[in-house]
């Protein structure tokens, strides 16, 4: 294996320095070649396609090759870089793990901020930073609609049990963000683009928005996934194609049972066995130059549910806010009533000393943490006035449902922000 990880992390840490104090063990996104938001531009370069207004490609793009007929990107939700060492050790008998350790190029990238799926996957499908595409959290205050929205069901948070209410009100999901998608750009350049999604997610409003211009291929289980991929590439092996696979179970297991749960490694083992068999099959198909990439949208950090972090227990504190907090449990947007900013900070620092660092949202935008160019016109409203950045395993909780999470993400720790970027070719 050609290991570029230490070299890349050195560059990320060098570029992560900024005038804002995010706390120890923190990493900021590096959009000049070291972030998952840089992947789409490189995909376009490898497939001889234009890039539109995307961010530049990954800094070490040419290490993986110059031109390919087929690019396959696998996104494993929640598989952080710092977890991969344990994965390699526990799955050392797996033939795919053995293959990539012998043959692959191993690198690393940063996630985006907040390090959460809705923001990260949208960056992977647009080549834009979250500040440009506008999806900056699990829950966001949309001033133009006068409501807080959860973009996964595409409904107001108060009614998030019913999916697609905003679409039913006449705002199609394709209007979620202003930028072109990767699928649209590739299609304009005569590249076939397909996205393989778990069946339960394949028709979601967020999927429709992110994958405009791409064919969405639902899959039920691993056998269905790998058979779909092989059949499509066999049929279109003479064309240029981009295939992306999204798998979300590892993130779910981590949230509900912890990132060290046996289910995580059992399913990863099965997933990689299927990938190895698929690799062997594709190697016999005379596809031409093909690049297989594996990355993640974010990692996770361990913690345990703590009822003392439920903000609903502190009504006097909530009374000093105009609306409930938004964003993420570990990267929280606060909307203080006029003159209450210092009171909010004082309460949090006294109640949870050293657990959070507050940064002005305006300063965060000016520092380029959400991106620097083509910022969304409503960004300043969507990120509140104060941002609480969680330290170590701290978090806030405010939803009207039980807190059962044993791992979280959204914050700026190395565990959440560093993700693998591994490539292996076949011809």
Quote the pLDDT of residue 35: 98
Is the pLDDT at 174 greater than 90? The verdict is: no
Pairing mode, strands 70-76 and 241-247: parallel
- Average pLDDT of the segment spanning 144-153: 89
pLDDT digits (tens, 9 = 90+) for 3-52: 999 999 999 999 888 778 899 899 999 999 999 999 999 999 999 999 98
425 in Cβ contact with 105 (< 8 Å): no
Domains of the chain: 2-130+178-302+414-426 (3.40.720.10), 307-408 (3.30.1360)
Inter-helix orientation angle 262-283/249-257, to 10°: 170
How confident is residue 90, by pLDDT bands cut at 50, 70 and 90?
very high
How confident is residue 1, by pLDDT bands cut at 50, 70 and 90?
confident
Quote the pLDDT of residue 162: 84
Pairing mode, strands 331-334 and 326-328: antiparallel
CA distances from 200 to 98, 123, 191, 220 (A): 32, 22, 27, 8
pLDDT digits (tens, 9 = 90+) for 313-364: 999 999 999 999 999 999 999 999 999 999 999 999 999 999 999 999 999 9
Element holding 207 (H helix, E strand): helix 205-210
Is the pLDDT at 297 greater than 90? The verdict is: yes
Distance CA 59, CA 34 (A): 6
Percent with pLDDT over 90 in the chain: 88
How confident is residue 312, by pLDDT bands cut at 50, 70 and 90?
very high
Is the pLDDT at 136 greater than 80? The verdict is: yes
Distance CA 210, CA 201 (A): 12
Quote the pLDDT of residue 68: 97
Q: Cβ atoms within 10 A of the Cβ of 168, count? A: 11
Distance CA 40, CA 126 (A): 7
Ordered strands of the 356-360 beta sheet: 155-156, 147-150, 139-142, 326-328, 331-334, 386-390, 356-360
When mean pLDDT is compared across 167-171, 216-220, 384-388, 397-401, the lowest value belongs to: 167-171
Is the pLDDT at 276 greater than 90? The verdict is: yes
pLDDT digits (tens, 9 = 90+) for 377-421: 999 999 999 999 999 999 999 998 899 999 999 999 999 999 999
Residues in CB range of 87: below 8 A, 6 or more apart: 79, 97, 265, 268
Q: Cβ atoms within 10 A of the Cβ of 189, count? A: 16
- Average pLDDT of the segment spanning 94-110: 97
pLDDT digits (tens, 9 = 90+) for 384-396: 999 999 999 999 9
- Average pLDDT of the segment spanning 99-117: 97
pLDDT digits (tens, 9 = 90+) for 176-202: 888 899 999 999 999 999 999 999 999
Is the pLDDT at 373 greater than 90? The verdict is: no
What average pLDDT is seen over the chain?
A: 95
Quote the pLDDT of residue 52: 87
When mean pLDDT is compared across 15-24, 231-240, 250-259, the lowest value belongs to: 15-24
- Average pLDDT of the segment spanning 283-300: 96
Pairing mode, strands 2-3 and 105-110: parallel
How confident is residue 152, by pLDDT bands cut at 50, 70 and 90?
confident
Is the pLDDT at 160 greater than 80? The verdict is: no
Quote the pLDDT of residue 171: 85
- Average pLDDT of the segment spanning 159-179: 84
Distance CA 282, CA 148 (A): 46
Q: Measuring CA to CA, which residue among 1, 47, 23, 375 is closest to residue 242?
A: 47
Report residue 203 CA to chain centroid gap. 19
Quote the pLDDT of residue 291: 98
Is the pLDDT at 229 greater than 80? The verdict is: yes
Q: Structure tokens of 332? A: 């929280």
- Average pLDDT of the segment spanning 106-135: 97
Pairing mode, strands 241-247 and 386-390: unpaired
């Amino acid at each position: 294996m050609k290991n570029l990880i230490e070299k890349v992390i050195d560059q990320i840490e060098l570029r992560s320095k900024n005038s804002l104090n995010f706390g120890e063990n923190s990493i900021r996104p590096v959009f000049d070649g070291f972030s998952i938001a840089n992947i789409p531009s490189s995909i376009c370069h490898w497939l001889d396609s234009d890039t539109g207004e995307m961010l530049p490609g990954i800094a070490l793009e040419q290490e993986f090759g110059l031109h390919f007929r087929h690019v396959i990107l696998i996104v494993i939700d929640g598989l952080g870089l710092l977890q991969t060492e344990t994965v390699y050790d526990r799955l050392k008998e797996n033939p795919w793990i053995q293959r990539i350790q012998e043959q692959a190029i191993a690198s690393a990238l940063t996630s985006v901020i907040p390090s959460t799926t809705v923001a990260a996957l949208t960056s992977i499908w647009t080549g834009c930073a979250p500040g440009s595409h506008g999806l900056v959290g699990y829950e966001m205050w949309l001033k133009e609609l006068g409501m807080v929205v959860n973009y996964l069901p595409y409904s107001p948070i108060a009614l998030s049990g019913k999916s697609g209410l905003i679409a039913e009100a006449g705002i199609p999901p394709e209007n979620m963000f202003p930028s072109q998608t990767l699928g649209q750009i590739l299609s304009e350049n005569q590249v076939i683009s397909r996205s393989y999604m778990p069946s339960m997610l394949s028709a979601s409003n967020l999927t429709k928005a992110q994958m405009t211009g791409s064919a969405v291929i639902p899959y039920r289980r691993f056998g269905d996934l790998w058979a779909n991929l092989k059949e499509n590439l066999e049929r279109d092996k003479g064309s240029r194609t981009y295939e992306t696979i999204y798998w979300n179970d590892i993130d779910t297991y981590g949230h509900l049972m912890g990132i060290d749960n046996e289910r995580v490694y059992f399913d990863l083992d099965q997933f990689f066995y299927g990938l190895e068999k698929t690799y062997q099959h594709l190697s016999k198909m005379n596809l031409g130059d093909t690049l297989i990439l594996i990355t993640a949208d974010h990692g996770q950090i361990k913690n345990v549910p703590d009822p003392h972090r439920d903000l609903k227990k502190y009504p006097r504190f909530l009374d000093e806010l105009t609306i409930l907090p938004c964003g993420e449990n570990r990267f929280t947007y606060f909307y203080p009533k006029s003159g209450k900013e210092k009171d909010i900070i004082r309460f949090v620092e006294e109640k949870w000393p050293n657990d959070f660092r507050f940064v002005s949202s305006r300063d965060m935008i000016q520092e380029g943490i959400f991106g620097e160019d083509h910022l969304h016109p409503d960004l300043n409203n969507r990120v509140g006035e104060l941002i609480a950045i969680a330290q170590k395993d701290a978090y806030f909780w405010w939803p009207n449902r039980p807190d059962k999470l044993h791992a979280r993400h959204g914050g700026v720790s190395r565990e959440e922000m560093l993700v693998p970027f591994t490539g292996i070719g076949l011809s």
